[in-house]
Amino acid sequence: MGMDFSTLRSLISRFCAGEENCVDTRTVYIGHKEPPPGAEAFIQQRFPDNRIVSSKYTFWNFVPKNMFEQFRRVANFYFLIIFLVQLIIDTPTSPITSGLPLFFVIIVTAIKQGYEDWLRHKADNAVNQCPVDVVQHGKVVRTQSRRLRVGDVVQVKEDETFPCDLILLSSSRDDGTCYVTTASLDGESSHKTYHAVQDTKAYKTEREVACIHATIDCEQPQPDLYKFRGNINIYMGNEPVSRSLASQNLLLRGATLKNTEYIFGVAIYTGMESKMALNYQSKSQKRSAVEKSMNAYLVVYLCILISKAVINTVLKYVWQADPNKDEPWYNEKTETERQRHILIRAFTDFLAFMVLFNYIIPVSMYVTVEMQKFLGSYFIMWDDEMLDEELGERAVVNTSDLNEELGQVEYVFTDKTGTLTENNMEFIECCVDGTVYEPDAICNGQVMPGAADIDMIDTSPGPQAKERAELFFRALCLCHTVQVKEEETVDGIKHGIHQGKSSSFYISSSPDEVALVEGMKRLGFTYLRLKDGQMEILNRDDEIERFELLEVLTFDSVRRRMSVIVRSSTGELYLFCKGADSSIFPRVISGKVEQVKARVEHNAVEGLRTLCVAYRPLSPEQYEQVCHLLTRAKLEFQDQDKLVAEAYDLIERDLILLGATAVEDRLQEKAADTIESLHKAGMKVWVLTGDKMETAAATCYASKLFRRSTQILELTTKRTEEQSLHDVLFELKRTVLRHYGAMARDTSSGLSSEYADYGLIIDGATLSAVMRPNQEDSNSGNYKEIFLEICRNCSAVLCCRMAPLQKAQIVKMIKASKEHPITLAIGDGANDVSMILEAHVGIGIMGKEGRQAVRNSDYAIPKFKHLKKMLLVHGHYYYIRISELVQYFFYKNVCFIFPQFLYQFFCGFSQQPLYDTAYLTLYNISFTSLPILLYSLMEQHINMDILKKDPSLYRDIAKNSLLTWPIFIYWTVLGVYDAIVMFFGAYFLFDNTTFTSNGQMFGNWTFGTLVFTVLVFTVTFKLALDTHYWTWINHFVIWGSLVFFVVFSLLWGGIIWPFLNYQRMYYVFMQMLSSGPAWLSIILLITASLLPDVVKKVFWRALWPTTTERIQTKRRCLASEPSTIFMLSQTSSRISF
C-alpha cells in the first residue's frame, strides 16, 4: 500500500513539474520526441520561454510603480503631505510654492529612471530577438531567441553566443570537442574545452541530429556555473543506453563558441532559468556616509520645523486670549468660525505654520546632489591620466552614488594576481631531481629578444639524469589543457609569429599552462596538437612522439592539481600529475623530495609561482581498475561530485616526484608607489589572495606592503598545529598591545621611540577557525574580536589561500567592527566579485581575467596605479565639494525661513508670509541653486599635483570630518545669526526711514523684499568667499545669478501680468531701489552678516590651521609674489582667490 502511495506522489509531482519546488529533477525530450513504448510515461512539463527580462517597469505599471518608489523617500513624501495640506485647508501660501519644486523633482527623476529602463528594454529586445538556428524535421530553421523552448535542438556557429544552456550533442570536430570562452560569465577569457555526448558525437548534419531519439534527466536550474549533473538515455535498440552528463557537457548561455566551425546542442535551461540569468546578482543599494549625514540633518531640521510650528501655534492662542486682539473691529469672525472646536482650529493653525515654514527642508537639495553626482562622475571618465593606451581603456563609473565615498576610504582590500601583478606569466626555470634548467625569457608565447639558445645551469647531466629530465619535459607537454591555434591571428590579433614565420600559438584556460608549455618548447620539447585522441610532441631530435590521451582528471580548487593518463606508442601507460606543492608532496613515495622541496621554497621566497610534477607508471590491470572507478563515479546521479573526487583521490596516489617549475607574475607598474601612497594617506591595505604564503609574502615585500623593518606575525595552519589557536591568538595580541603600550609610555615620558610596524599573515584554514561561531573550548573567548584587535594594530595584513567567499567574509567582518570603517575592495577576476559587492566601494580592474569584476563593480580602472589618483585626488575633491553643498543648502534655507519665523511675532501670528509667492518658489530653484551646483562640480581647494605628492592631506577629510555635528551646528548657528541680522537690521533701519523721497510709506511687501534681497546677496557672497578655484564659469554663474535675481524682480514688479489675480508686488522693487537708505541698508546688512564668518576663518587659520589650510596659505603667498592679477583659467588648477 505504501508503494502505491509513493507512486501516486511521484505522478502528482510530475504533473506539478511547472512548479520547481515539487520535483528535484526535470526530464527533457530531445526534439520533443516521445520516448518509445515501454519506456517511462511521456508527461510534457511546462518550462519558461527563452526571454530575458532585466527591465524594471512595463508600459502599464511605470507610473504607479515609479511614483510608489519615489514617495518612499521621506523628503518626497513629506512635501507631498505639505502640498495636500495646502490644497485642503486655507494656508498662507499658494500650493504652487510646494507643488512646483516637488513635481519638478518627481518628473526629472521619473524621466531619468524611465530612460534608464527604456535602455534596459532595448537591450532585452536586442537579445530576445537575435536570430537562432533550430533543427526542425531535419532542416535548420531560423527563429528568434525568445521563441526557443526546452528540448529544441540548436545549431551554433563559430564566434556566436549560446542562446540558452545547451547539452553538447556533436561538433564539427571529429573528437566531439568544442572550444568556448566564458569571459561574460566567470571572467575567464581563455579557451575551455567541452565534450559532446559519446554516443551522439558522430551525428554531424542536421538530418542525422534530427534522428536522435533520447531523453535527458537533469537537476533543476541552480546558479552554480561549475556544477551540473544529469543522465542522457539514448534509445538506439531494445535497451536504452545511459550516459552520465557533467559540467563539461553543458554549454552556458552567454559563452561564445571559438575555434570550432559549428555545434549541435539541445536546450535544457531557457530564459530566466539559465545559469547566467540566475547569476544576475542584484546589487544591494550602497549608501554613502554623506547620504547618511544628510538624512540625520534632515531629521534635525524636521524637529526644528515642528518646534517652530508648535511655538507659533501656542503663542497665537496666547495672543488671542485678549478678545480685542482675537477679533478686532476690522476682522470679526463668522459664526461658523466661532463654533469650530478649539482643537480643530489649533490643529489647522499648526498645519498652516508647517506649510509656512516648510522651506527649511530643502527638497531641491536632493535634485542638486543627484545632478552633482551624475555630472561629477564624468570627470573620472574624462581624466586622461587614467587612460591606458595599451588597452585603449578609460576609467568607467558604473554608479555615481558613491563618488564622495572615494574620499573616505579607511581599508583597502586588494587581490594579488592581475591586480598587484600583471597576470602575465613568464617561465623562469624548472628543477628536475635537483638539476635546474633555465631557458631565456618566455612571456606568454612571446620570445624575448636574445632568446636564441637554451641555457642550462647543469650542462653535463648524466645519462640517467638526462632520461629523467626528458620524462619531466614530456610530462609538462602532456599534462595540460592547452589548445593549439594554427592560424596567425586570434580574435584579430596576430600571434605566434617569430622571425617572420607563421607558427602555432597556444591558448588555455590558465596563463600558467601556456607559460609552461612555451618553456618546454624552449627546452627542446614542442607540443604540436591533439588529434583523434593522440597528443603529438616534437622532441629534441625533431621526431614526432605520439601519446594516446585516455583520461583527463581535471583541475579543481579543492585538489589543487590535475592529471592525465596516456599510452605511449610502445604501449606503456603513465599517469602524469602536476599541482601545488602542498597537494603533490604528501602523495609522493619516491624521488628527490628534499632537493626539489628546497628549490620550491627558494623560488617561493623570490615571489615565483611554483608547481610540482610527478608521475606513476600504470599496469593494464591498474588502468582497468581506474576506468572502472571513474565510470562508476560518473554514472552515479546522486553525490556525483563527491564520488568523482573520491575516485580522483584513489587514482592520484603512490606518485614518483620528477621536479618543479617556477613561473613569475611581475608586479604592475607603480603598484609599490600606489600602496605606499595609500599607507601615507592613512589607509590600511590588506592583500587577499589564493596563492601560497611564501609567494604572496614575496609580492607584498616587492610592493612595499611589508617593509624590511616590518615585524611579521603569522597566524597560519603550520603554527596552529604546533600551538592551539587560542594560545597563538592571545600571544599575538599580547605582542602587539605590549609594543603599543611601551610606545605610549615612551611618548608620554618624552623618550623617542622608533616606530616599528607589524604585518600579519593569515591563511584560509586558520581564518575559517577564527570565524567559526561556536568554538569547542568554552574558555576560548571571542576569537573574532581578538583577531580584529590584532588587525587594528597592524599596518598591513596578508590573507593567503583564500576562497572567494572568505574574501567577502573578511570585508564584512571589518565593515561590522565597532569603528564601522569605510572599505574598498579592488580586483580583476570573477573570484573577486563577492568582495567587490560586499565592500562600501567596489573597484574592478580591466585585466586579463575577463570583465566579471568590472561589470559588478561601482568603478572600473585599467590599472592598479590609477587607484592613487582616484582616491587621493578625485575622492578628495568629491568629498570636499559635496560636504560644502550639503552644509550650504541647510545654511541658506535657515537664512531663508528664520526671518519668516521672526516676522510672526510682528504680525500677530497670523501666518502672513514675509516673502512674495514668486520668491518662495524660485529661491531654491533659480536664485541660489546654480552657484552651489557649479561649486560642487569644479571646486579645487588645493592643486591636484599637491594632492598626489602629499597623500597625508587625505587624512584631513577622514572619518567624515567635514560633516560632523559641531560643523553642522556652526553652519546652522551662522544661518540663524544671518537671519537675525537681516530681519532686525531691516526692522530697525526702517524704523526711522519709512518714507521714500516722494513721501510714500514702505509697506510689508517692501520690507519683505528688502530682507529677501539682502538674503540672496549674502548667501551668494558666502559661497564666493568659500570658493578657492575661480574660472570664468564661476564668475558667470555667481554674478549672473545675482543679475538674474535683479532682472527678474524688475520684470515681476514692473509689468502688469494678465494671468495674475493680484499684483501685490507691482512697482515694489523699483520703489525700494529708488530709496537711498534702502541701498545703504543692503550694503550694511550684507557686510554685518558675512563679517563674523570671515573673522572666524582668519583667527582659526592663524591659530589652529590644518595641513590643507597651511598649503592654501603658502600657495596664495607664492601666487601673489609675481602678480596680483587673478589668473582665471578653466584648465589650470592654480589657486588664486
**Which of 405, 404, 385, 403 has its CA nearest to residue 395?**
385
Instruction: Return the C-alpha cell found at 609.
Output: 609561482
Q: Which residues contact 1050 (CB under 8 A, 6 or more apart)?
A: 1069, 1070
**Which of 1017, 1075, 1071, 1080 has its CA nearest to residue 1043?**
1017
> Does residue 230 contact residue 217 with C-beta atoms inside 8 Å?
yes
How far apart are the two ends of the chain, measured CA to CA in Å?
Answer: 93
**Catalytic annotation, pick one of 165, 401, 415, 691:** 415
Instruction: Return the C-alpha cell found at 280.
Output: 544576475
Distance (Å, rounded) from C-alpha 372 to C-alpha 888? 14
**Which of 905, 1045, 870 has its CA nearest to residue 980?**
905
> Does residue 505 contact residue 521 with C-beta atoms inside 8 Å?
no
**Which of 941, 826, 934 has its CA nearest to residue 876?**
941
Angle, CA 532 vertex, CA 526 and CA 535 arms, to 5°: 25
Distance (Å, rounded) from C-alpha 478 to C-alpha 726? 46
Can you spell out the DSSP letters for 1034-1056?
A: HHHHHHHHHHHHHHHHHHHHHS-
Beta bridge partners of 25: 219
**Which of 1110, 1111, 1093, 1092 has its CA nearest to residue 1101?**
1110
Instruction: Return the C-alpha cell found at 1039.
Output: 554674478
> Does residue 294 contact residue 237 with C-beta atoms inside 8 Å?
no
Alpha-carbon distances, residue 175 vs 172, 204, 420, 1102 (angstroms): 9, 11, 40, 81
Distance (Å, rounded) from C-alpha 544 to C-alpha 532? 15
Phi and psi at 387, nearest 5°, equal -100, 130
Q: Which residues contact 565 (CB under 8 A, 6 or more apart)?
A: 549, 550, 551, 553, 573, 574, 575, 618, 623, 626
Distance (Å, rounded) from C-alpha 389 to C-alpha 377? 21
For helices 74-88 and 342-357, the axis angle rounded to 10 degrees is: 130
Instruction: Return the C-alpha cell found at 1063.
Output: 499684483
State the SS3 of 16-32. CCCCCCCCCEEEEEHHH
Residue 415 annotated among the catalytic residues of the structure: yes
> Does residue 1127 contact residue 1134 with C-beta atoms inside 8 Å?
yes
**R_g (Cα) of the chain, nearest Å:** 37
Distance (Å, rounded) from C-alpha 82 to C-alpha 62? 25
Q: Report the amino acid identity of residue 616.
A: R
Distance (Å, rounded) from C-alpha 249 to C-alpha 609? 31
Containing 464, the helix (H) or strand (E) segment is helix 463-478
> Does residue 171 contact residue 204 with C-beta atoms inside 8 Å?
no
> Does residue 467 contact residue 489 with C-beta atoms inside 8 Å?
no
Distance (Å, rounded) from C-alpha 195 to C-alpha 248? 6
Distance (Å, rounded) from C-alpha 891 to C-alpha 902? 17
What DSSP state is assigned to residue 453? S
Order of all β-strands in the sheet with 153-157: 139-144, 131-136, 153-157, 262-269, 165-171, 250-251
**Which of 420, 417, 373, 418 has its CA nearest to residue 398?**
373
> Does residue 986 contact residue 436 with C-beta atoms inside 8 Å?
no
Give the catalytic positions in this structure. Answer: 415
